[in-house]
Chains A and B, each alone.
Chain A
Amino acid sequence: MLQCMAPVAVQAQSCEWSISGKVIDEHDQSALSYSNIILLETNQYAVADSNGYFIIRQVCSGKYTLIVEHIGCTPDTVTLDVNSSITRNFYLEHHEEELAGIITTAVKYTSGLSSHEVDSKELEKLEGKNLGQILNGIAGVNQLKTGANISKPIIHGLYGDRILLVEYGVRLESQNWGTEHAPEIDPLAAQSISVIKGAATLEYGTESLGGMVVIQPPVLKKQPHLNVDISLVGQTNGKGITTAAKIQQGFKKQAAYYLQGTFKKLGDQQAPDYNLSNTGLQETNLSAGFGWMKRGWDLSGHYALYSQKAGIFRSAHIGNLTDLNNAIQSDTPLIVLPFTYDIIAPKQHNTHHLAKVQLRKYFSKQRTLHIAYSAQHNRRQEYDIRRGGRSDIASLDMRLFTNNVLTTFQRTHSIGKKSHLLEGKSGIHFTAKQNRNDAATGVKPLIPDYYQYGIGFFDMEQLKLRSFTLDWGARYDYTRMLAYVFDNNNRLQTPTYNFHTYAISLGGSWTSRQQEVQLQSGIAVNSRFPNASELFSNGLHHGIAAIEFGEPDLRPEKGIKWTTTLLAQYKKFIQAEVTAYISTIYDFIYLAPLPEPILTIRGAFPAFRYYQTDAQLAGLDMTLKSTPAKWLSLYGRYSMLRGKNKSTDEYLIYMPADNIAGGFEWQQDFSAVKNVFFGMEYKYTFEQKKLPISIPDFKAAPGDYHLLGASAGFTYPVNDKNSISFSISGENITNSRYREYLNRFRYYADETAWNLTFRIKYSFQ
């Protein structure tokens, strides 16, 4: 299928095999039509026809986990060793005494609208990188950075609240804490990470004007043997190490669990000419999951802990505009200290706990009911350089506690002569949130205390016809927010807000008979209510020398986006994907300067306030892949985006520059070593010249830049059960000096210098 076209080269060793067969109800031996068959490792997948037959083509040699799903049945996983084409039957259990099924926690998104996946094999090559860096390889996805350690994904020019981040089927709630806060996600604990740029996000909220990032946890496999993966990653820039271990095991085909842990330590990172003082990082992450099956239902649970201590680049901490101008005028950072692993103030300490329990009940006639409760506790502590020995007291200490209950009901109907299928999913979503600040900080909080309660209703439907698929859905949310804000005279104000937000999506796709061409098109309406920082922020931002004022009268923003994707392939040699989109966002919330600077004891500061306008964003993402020989793949991608402020007829600020990338990967299997690969990638980022004139920048947008990367590796199978893989990759191998427009610390220092990463992974089954 074309959906599996990956942004990074997919392996190209013997890939001519196919997996085919029939999906049968174990109970009455009848064919199960329209089952989904998914190869977990590569996300290749097929849908069985009306007689239960399916085929997955172009499967490479290797070990795979095959998931067979049929609505109303418990999904099954089968481990396959592919050395030749395989044909066999797969039996699914509908409602029987003895359950042969397994538990899968995979979040399934039915609509195929423009999604990209970084699968487990690609994730293996990117071990040690953070979420933003991993997603950067996808056309249309960029990163918004605050120095070397903090990075947030940008999809189609939008970030923060306008993107949903979904992990373990739960939306991550700390997004509204502002740009200098990275999402608390450990990519080493993920099975795969996908970006969904179209609609199909209604299950999690109405506000995904940009798109959605789905992080899949490890799959709970029923096979009663133990799987162990141990990874060791070392990197030269920052002299860092990352270690991770994962254990998966199933019991008696009825229960399964996994355990995962990561430890990461980085010292100061380096730019080509100097040490970036205080950019060290330490991360300790843990996650665990279990599943337990009984007749007709299953129960699963997840827990994840993410704990990060990150230094904030020392030279980016400034007192006022004079300091900022001094920093900008100096070619090198004003404070350069020798390399160290120590992290001193200014620094950030983030802790995130997520726990989830889900119950799934299978009914007859292909219906399932899910009920999931999740709790998230986020704590963000910022340590500043302070007077009077207060540097050890956090200057910001904020806790966000979120509870969610999501109940969904899923069903499938056959229509007419059973070749047409209607799948539906509806649900109710309750949310209760509490944000609290610790008053012991001695500093006015960035975001005030607040309570937030919400209820949402949604329904999504998908109609599958022979070569057409139609999908539509709607969601409505009511949210009540009670804020506790102290005014300038320390009098408590308690504004209350009632927000009504909604989302509607309508899409369709057409696939040609031989599947060479697929056309997808969809319209989505989304709305998002202003978050606490947009409503109430009040004070000085040290990193950017600006005073920011929230606007308590902001209205929700409403967006309408039309996305069209064309996928085409020619005789396996060339695959192309082109996505074009245009969106208008009414009452778009953005930050713009006030006409007069504000006088403070630290001097005069430019002041910014949140405004609303109508904005238009339009862009194009292209990915091209070619496999001229079994062992070689070539790829290229390009993306461009234009954002306009319609009321001032100017460009929008902080939009990613156009970029183009290309690369190749050579990959082959030998008798003694498997999966031997070597690849290179070149990326060119244009200078961002489409800038607003009325919003002055402290320093002109940086120029264009080139980046070259390379990677190589192999897997050594010790025996049937053990294998060791080695790889080495280099980033910015020409050691180019450059600055990136979307890094908020570009005023102070260059981006990081060249880096070599060494990875060893040991797997045991």
Chain B
Amino acid sequence: MKKTLISGSALSMLLLLNGCKKDNPTPVNEEELITTVQLIFQEVGGMSSDTFSFKDIDGVGGIAAVTDSIILKKDTRYIVQTRVLNETTSPADNITEEILEEGTEHQFFYQSTPADFINNFEYLDEDDNGFPIGLEFGCNTKNAAATGTLRVTLRHEPVKDAANVINNDITNANGETDIEIDFPARWY
């Protein structure tokens, strides 16, 4: 009796094990992944533009991220466009459009160290409520040669009507950070 039961249970277990089909799992398509941030600097009145980028091509871990150094002329006004991409897919996913569509829920901030490294900052776009998104902005580089950093931050669900948030001041913005990159920079 005992043996019958034990062998019976072993048999039913075997059947169960074979019942589980071993399909290989499919890899996840990480739609929200951001691999690349590009800053396209266009000199006001100038002809050419310069593009600087941050790339972390395989996301968190794995191959280390690469950050370009921003090298531009001193005492010059630039119009800057920010592009956000997912380059794990081919062709690359343009996340910029997604941010634009949900403009009311997103805002970019651009902070420099030292503080006067960029001046006369101005947001050049706005969302459906008339608040800035920050995919396009203008600024002047310092009037003397200098080195510093430019921090690009994208906040999801910020409080856009909090004090000074429309003036590129992140202090009261809250929300959560989707992008935070420190670009090393030099004005010559």
Contact = CB atoms under 8 A, between A and B. Distances in A.
B129 interface: no
B13 A488 contact: no
B1 interface: yes
A326 B171 CA distance: 9
Interface in B136-188: 153, 155-157, 174, 176-181
Interface in B1-36: 1-2, 5-6, 9-10, 12-13, 16-17, 20, 22, 24-32, 34-35
B179 A335 contact: no
A514 interface: no
A437 B153 CA distance: 32
Contacts of A449: 25
Interface residues of B, number: 51
Interface residues of A, number: 60
A719 interface: no
Contact of A603 (B25, B32, B157, B177): B177
Interface string B76-115: 0000000000000000000100110110000000000000
A107 interface: no
Given A322-B177, A598-B61, A434 B32 contact: no
Nearest to B84: A601
Contacts of A334: 174
Contact of B176 (A385, A388, A442, A445): A385
Contacts of B22: 451, 482
A398 to B, nearest CB: 12
A432 B17 contact: yes
Nearest to A409: B2
A428 interface: yes
A453 interface: yes
A388 B28 contact: no
A121 interface: no
B5 A369 contact: yes
Interface in A41-77: none
Contact of B60 (A322, A409, A437, A598): A598
B54 interface: yes
A545 to B, nearest CB: 10
Contacts of B124: none
A645 B60 CA distance: 30
Contact of A403 (B1, B16, B56): B16
Contact of B177 (A320, A389, A437, A482): A320
A92 to B, nearest CB: 23
Contact of A390 (B2, B27, B31, B37): B31
A388 B32 contact: yes
A322 B174 CA distance: 10
A386 interface: yes
A318 interface: yes
Nearest to B8: A371
B61 A538 contact: yes
B13 A432 contact: yes
Contacts of A340: none
Contacts of A320: 177, 180
A524 to B, nearest CB: 27
Contact of A322 (B12, B13, B180): B180
Interface in A333-371: 334-335, 361, 369, 371
A539 B60 contact: yes
A387 B30 CA distance: 12
Interface string A443-476: 1110011010100000000000000000000000
A405 interface: yes
Nearest to B155: A319
Contacts of A671: none
Given A319-B176, A430-B10, A603-B177, A484 B5 contact: no
Interface in A383-406: 385-390, 401, 403, 405
A716 interface: no
B17 A453 contact: yes
A407 interface: yes
Interface of B: 1-2, 5-6, 9-10, 12-13, 16-17, 20, 22, 24-32, 34-35, 37, 54, 56, 58-65, 67, 95, 98-99, 101-102, 153, 155-157, 174, 176-181
Interface of A: 317-320, 322-323, 326, 334-335, 361, 369, 371, 373, 385-390, 401, 403, 405, 407, 409, 428, 430, 432, 434, 436-437, 439, 441-445, 448-449, 451, 453, 482, 484, 486-490, 492, 538-540, 547, 549, 598-603, 605
21 contacts: A386-B32, A388-B31, A403-B16, A407-B5, A428-B6, A432-B20, A437-B25, A441-B28, A443-B32, A448-B25, A449-B25, A453-B17, A484-B24, A486-B25, A488-B63, A489-B62, A490-B27, A599-B67, A601-B34, A602-B180, A603-B177
A-B pairs with the 6 shortest C-beta distances?
A: A319-B177, A488-B62, A603-B180, A319-B176, A488-B58, A430-B13
